[in-house]
Amino acid sequence: MDFFNLHTHQGNNRAEVVELVNQYPQEFNRDIPFYSIGIHPWYINEESLEVDLVIIESKLQNENCLAIGECGLDKRIDAPFELQQMVFERQLLLAQKYSKPVVIHCVAAFQEVIEIKKRLNISVPLIIHGFSKNQQIATQLIGSGFYLSFGKYLVQSASLGTGLEEVFKKIPENHIFLETDTIDKGIETVYELASNIKGISMTEMQEIIKRNFETVFKRK
């Protein structure tokens, strides 16, 4: 493995890249080599919820299912927040049961995510994907044991000057992942940008992500 892509919606099946492709219970593709599967808060369907959770639990027992997600909380959508919390918590408990990391979508609900982790005593690794917030939130999350994955917003920040580069620069190396999510760029581009921001070589960045991958996903 030369590169690890923590979160993408479009796998490319390249030998040098391990991709964690996001899948949904009702749209499962068995041909994807490595994947996460979960109920995104945008797509909660109460009518199919129990069936979806059964599908997720069955897939979590497959070796190629590396994580549950993306799942989480989003205060900027119409779905009732209490319903989002219930669905998120049930997925966290499945992750705990099967010792799988969790890829989290979080919008304007970081304190709630931190509180839920503590209340449910979740010990599996939790990764906030697509992190784009300030140093204060980053510090709180890392202090609570979360990992942060950077991609789309880090690329945008490089051209828009949002200041996310300064946040990324200060994140401890053992708490970072990189991703492409929905951007039309290869993961190598994100690695190169991340390396430049950290002031290290591409090889050093590859080693950092490889170590984090092996620690979180328990794979070589």
* Residue 2, annotated as binding a ligand: no
| 14 has a pLDDT exceeding 90 | no
pLDDT 10s digits, 111-137: 999 999 999 999 999 999 999 999 999
* Residue 70, annotated as binding a ligand: yes
- In which band, very low, low, confident or very high, does the pLDDT at 50 lie, cut at 50, 70 and 90? very high
pLDDT 10s digits, 70-87: 999 999 999 999 999 999
- In which band, very low, low, confident or very high, does the pLDDT at 10 lie, cut at 50, 70 and 90? confident
pLDDT 10s digits, 140-164: 999 999 999 999 999 988 677 778 9
What local confidence, expressed as pLDDT, does residue 1 receive?
77
What local confidence, expressed as pLDDT, does residue 213 receive?
98
What DSSP string runs through the chain?
A: --EEEEEESS----TTEEEEEEE-GGG--TT-SSEEE---GGG--TTTHHHHHHHHHHHHTSTTEEEEEEEEEETTSSS-HHHHHHHHHHHHHHHHHHT--EEEEEES-HHHHHHHHHHTT--S-EEE-S----HHHHHHHHHTT-EEEESHHHHHHHHH--SHHHHHHHS-GGGEEE--BT-SS-HHHHHHHHHHHHT--HHHHHHHHHHHHHHHH---
> Cα separations (Å) of 181 from 70, 131, 154?
11, 11, 12
Average pLDDT, the chain: 95
Mean pLDDT computed over 75-101: 97
What DSSP string runs through 106-166?
A: EES-HHHHHHHHHHTT--S-EEE-S----HHHHHHHHHTT-EEEESHHHHHHHHH--SHHH
Please, what are the domains in the chain?
3-217 (3.20.20.140)
What local confidence, expressed as pLDDT, does residue 13 receive?
80
